[in-house]
Structure 1
């Protein structure tokens, strides 16, 4: 009898050990982050993740469907995708939508619940998601970027800046050491916010930075992108910097 009791309690201890060990590894991989807070006033959620502690079984643990398109992806891409979907799952729960699977469409854009718009972003070790069920909001865009190195910013200026954007770029460069990263991130956010209306690719030359201060950037649409987005449309992008990261966000009505 004592022999059976010994093995019973030994089994219980082993089970507890593996549960606790699993929780420790999980927390080492993913935890809530407070690097940035949204200035838009919509539900927002962000996480910090560590690729070194990522495991494929985390998809099952969290209840996120592993997409076939990631079968051949590198571990970093798999971890980023899951971290982004964790953010989407958590932020949707704040508006009463539980366990919704945010999958990607053929155009790679996230598919949100009916009457909800949102945006997901991730870079290196940070992921975030934002949503809105306000019927007046038809597009949301957020983006997190790791600041480019000085030589990268010089090499990529001609690819990111519109032809008549040099003056605004010069003003921004007097405020921050990585101005191109901020503009690049802002244009990524604009693309995400406008894509649900435009439904086709448009490049960085489609928008030009015309005004700025230490919290926001104002862009103008250079050409008609859709019936509801004529030339001359203004988009305000809010931005923040923390450590080596840049966060931008905007919405479209």
Structure 2
């Protein structure tokens, strides 16, 4: 990549670490400026551009590029070069054999988590822009029930922050467990039961009907990082925690 291209890419996406408990996974993350996106970044950074994405809006292409660019950085940490992270028909990223990973983005931020499958069987990461107070008041019944609402109300979080975080955590749980369950499950499958601000995690009771077939018979923890702009959450499960019954 030329120095001019490197400069343009650096102006578009700023790689910045986030304080999140990811051991043993690697996290790559960064903020980006949509207005500075250039289609040429794909070829310059050797990121595969699928036909479906090439026909998408500039916004969609920018988000896709950022996620795959961060995925390439995470893979490079493990010595994997030039691997195209394609997606299946459900838009789930397909990782190299021996790895599990997850990608998420907002309108101006993206993140990728990656780990060897010998250390983790499942992981999910999700970032969400903080909802406005008005949107939180309108949307909370679609995301949480009254018991979950009361847990957030009793915490130090204002509703819009607590709901944004809970939304993100439930999305992380979905991303982590969907590859095993292989069917859609809604927000009600994971029910918030505790918030631990000291260790920065949310705890959820997960549906027994969905969880037992894959060995999930316990609560799930979603670790988080939150600031005035976004909520970022992460769920990881060790091989001992997931015993898939898939053939």
TM-score norm. by structure 2 comes to: 0.88
Give the whole-Å Cα distance in 2 for the aligned partners of 1:82 and 1:103: 12
Q: What does residue 247 of structure 1 align with?
A: 232
Gaps of 5+ in 1: 1-18
Q: Write the distance in 1 (CA, Å) between the matches of 2:4 and 2:82.
A: 25
Matches of 2:62 and 2:74, distance apart in 1: 18
Q: Does 1:92 align with 2:75?
A: yes
- CA shift, 1:31, in A, is 2.5
* Paired position in structure 2 for 1:16: none
What's the counterpart of residue 74 of structure 1? 57
Q: CA deviation at 1:70?
A: 1.5
Find the aligned partners of 2:15 and 2:50 in 1 and give their Cα distance. 24
Match in the other structure for 2:182: 199
- Cα distance in structure 1, aligned partners of 2:96 and 2:63: 21
Larger Rg: 1
Kindly report the root-mean-square deviation, in angstroms, between the aligned alpha carbons of the 2 structures: 1.7
Q: Which of 113, 116, 126 is equivalent to 2:96?
A: 113
Runs of 4+ in 1 over 6 A off after TM superposition: none
State the match for 1:175 in structure 2: 157
Q: 1:228 aligns with which of 214, 227, 232?
A: 214
Find the partner of 2:21 among 14, 31, 39: 39
Please state how far the C-alpha of 1:68 moved relative to its aligned partner: 1.2
- Equivalent position SS for 1:175: coil
| Residue aligned with 2:65, SS | helix
Contact 1:138 1:196 in 2 (8 A): no
Calculate the TM-score normalised by the size of structure 1.
Answer: 0.86
Distance in 2 (alpha carbons) for counterparts of 1:24 and 1:207: 43
Give the distance between the partners of 2:76 and 2:8, measured in 1 at CA. 24
Aligned with 1:64 (options 31, 34, 47): 47
The CA deviation at 1:47 is 2.0
Tell me the CA shift for residue 163 of structure 1: 5.3
Superposition deviation, residue 243 in structure 1:
3.1
Provide the C-alpha distance between the structure 2 equivalents of 1:79 and 1:66, rounded to a whole number of angstroms.
11
Structure 2: runs of 5+ lacking an equivalent: 239-247
